[in-house]
Amino acid sequence: MSGVSLVSGRRGQRNAVRAAASLAFLIACLTIAFYATAFVYQRTGRPSALVVRIVNTLLGVFIMVLFAAIAGVLFRLRNGGPFAPTSTRWGESPKETSAPGWITVMR
């Protein structure tokens, strides 16, 4: 297994960076939720540990989805969204070719 790497080439490095950024984003959202609920619990009283963990996790996931939705609105993907073909150049729309029936193939 010499020369085999889990992160090989530019695509592998890019995927590793994206995975690390996603994990950092999740940790940041959970940290925000932890401090927000700690502030509320300090003022109102602390419930049981299980309730605290469930509320922190749900609030953290909600904050993450909220930030992702806001980023999606602010930075809309052109050329058909995240599942569009990536072989086109920036600002260039993909070419359509006809296929049998109702299917449209993008090249």
pLDDT in tens, 45-63: 889 999 999 999 999 999 9
Residue 107's nearest CA partner among 84, 78, 76, 82 is 84
Please check whether residue 52 lies inside any domain of the structure.
yes
Please indicate, yes or no, whether residues 57 and 16 belong to a single structural domain of this protein: yes
Please indicate, yes or no, whether residues 39 and 57 belong to a single structural domain of this protein: yes
Please indicate, yes or no, whether residues 14 and 62 belong to a single structural domain of this protein: yes
pTM beyond 0.85, yes or no:
no
Total tally of structural domains belonging to the chain: 2
Q: What is the phi/psi pair of residue 35, to 5°? A: -70, -35
Please check whether residue 87 lies inside any domain of the structure.
yes
pLDDT tens sequence across 6-55 = 556 777 888 888 899 999 999 999 999 999 999 999 999 889 999 999 99
Domain that holds residue 84: 78-107
Please check whether residue 70 lies inside any domain of the structure.
yes
Please indicate, yes or no, whether residues 46 and 71 belong to a single structural domain of this protein: yes
